[in-house]
Amino acid sequence: MSNPIEIDKYEQFNGEEFEYEDLGDQDGIAKPFDPNKVDVNISTPNLGALISRLKNDEIDLMPEFQRSPDLWSKQAQSRLIESILIRLPIPAFYFDAYEDEKWQVVDGLQRLSAINNFVIKKTLVLTNLEFLTDYEGKKFDELPRSLTRRIDEFQTSVYLIKPGTPTLIKYALFNRINTGGLKLTPQEIRHAMSQSVRDGVASKFLTKIVHKDSFKLVVRNKSNRQAHQELVLRHMAFTLFGTQGYKSSLPKFLDLAMIELGELSIDKLNELGKNFIDTIKMAYKIFDEDAFKRSLADQHTNKVVNKPLFEAVSVSLARLNLAERETLVNNKIEFRSGLRALLQDSEFIDSITLSTANTENVLIRFEMVQSLINNILIEK
């Protein structure tokens, strides 16, 4: 039976609400990667070498992430600079060196951003210092040469993931290494890793979709952490691989889908994108503001998207031909009533609220939604 406590939970994500999702156990590795294919180089350059790369735009600081409201505070950035100035060790930097002209940050994004703000952009004013209090309120150009030299000469540890390391292995490494002060979400990691494939075509594809007005009608709130892109990716993953191709865990399933999107032709991506937007428009015609939300069955609940419900309904609708879509729209009262009944069925509710990424629950919710649609189409 459904747990009423879980049903009332909501996931707050940087000002954006999605219904809380219990994914279940997602830690298992169905097929471990070959450790012999991991190619990582270790070096100890001076910080000046990294600063030079930053100045010449040879390190990608991923500006999309910099807009996040939980970016390091001015105090946290100042304390990092102070640590460098007094020669305290700082954690290692990790980069994906898929091309030498532009390294991709794997771990150390906020530290590099702080260094960039202080040394290059010169927007950071030192504040709340613990040891070098005489330099409180100072900018980089106001420090004596003895201190600015320490920054250049500060020894760092750098790990480079070398070209040729398989993409799926990079995803696994990125997840393990991702320990920074602003820990990246799984979709932010996919965005970062996708930049090495055809100039980030997969991430650009997802971002273009979430900026569409029709998508914003369904998912109204703002997202600064790639949450909307992941929602679209979930749809694309089940569209590309089918429900029978799903074997938990969900994160690895989405990793594979991101890789697949990066390999598709532009024509195929355009086809997928158009079909998705047409599906969203259709869902809005039928369910209005209750599209992909459990508020359809209970108007007292918050109108927030339930991700597993979004998967099952959007993918099932996307599979229909034009005539079948028109039939559902013409019989939207019956469709709304049928889905409302599902949202009051304990088995279906469990499949979209409890251990939602388990293979059995994925199959249950897809089969129940598809059965509802088939029954309406057969009767009409």
* Side chain identity, residue 234: R
pLDDT of res. 192: 78
234 close to 311: Cβ distance less than 8 angstroms: yes
3-state secondary structure of 40: strand
- Please list the alpha-helical segments (H only) found in 60-144: 63-66, 74-85, 109-115
pTM exceeding 0.75: no
How would you write the pLDDT of the chain (380 residues) with one tens digit per residue? 333 333 334 344 434 457 877 777 665 444 556 667 778 889 999 999 999 999 999 998 875 554 454 468 999 999 999 999 999 999 999 888 877 788 888 788 889 999 999 999 999 999 999 999 999 999 999 999 999 999 999 999 999 988 878 777 777 777 777 655 556 788 888 887 787 788 889 999 999 999 999 999 898 766 667 889 999 999 999 999 999 889 878 988 999 999 999 999 999 999 999 999 999 999 999 999 999 999 999 888 788 999 999 999 999 999 999 999 999 999 999 999 999 999 999 999 999 999 999 999 999 999 999 999 999 998 76
DSSP 95: E
Distance CA 185, CA 141 (A): 35
Which positions ≥6 away from 50 have C-beta within 8 Å?
A: 59, 93, 112, 115, 156, 158
Q: What angle do CA 170, 81, 58 make, to 5 degrees?
A: 40
**Distance, C-alpha 361 to centroid of its chain:** 23
Supply the angle between the helices 145-153 and 74-85 in degrees, to the nearest 10: 90
Yes or no: say if 359 and 246 are a contact pair by the CB < 8 Å rule: yes
Q: Other CB atoms closer than 10 Å to residue 132's CB: what's the count?
A: 16
| 227-241 vs 250-263: helix crossing angle, rounded to 10 | 80
Q: Is the dihedral of CA 53, 36, 194, 199 positive or negative?
A: positive
Name the residue with tokens 């997802």: 206
Q: What is the pLDDT of residue 8?
A: 36
330: how many CB neighbours lie within 10 A of its CB? 11
* pLDDT at residue number 7: 32
* Cβ-Cβ contacts under 8 Å for 126 (sequence gap 6 or more): 78, 81, 82, 118, 132, 135, 136, 137, 138, 139
pLDDT for the residue numbered 178: 67
Contact by Cβ (8 Å): 154, 44: no
Q: What is the dihedral of CA 128, 130, 134, 137, to 10 degrees?
A: -20
Strand segments (E) across the chain = 10-13, 16-19, 40-43, 59-60, 93-96, 103-107, 158-161
Q: Taking every pair of C-alpha atoms in the chain, what is the biggest distance, in angstroms?
A: 83
Contact 22, 352 (CB under 8 A): no
Contacts (Cβ under 8 Å, ≥6 apart) of 205:
261, 269, 273
- Predicted confidence at residue 323, as pLDDT, reads 95
The CA distance from 222 to 227, in Å, is 9
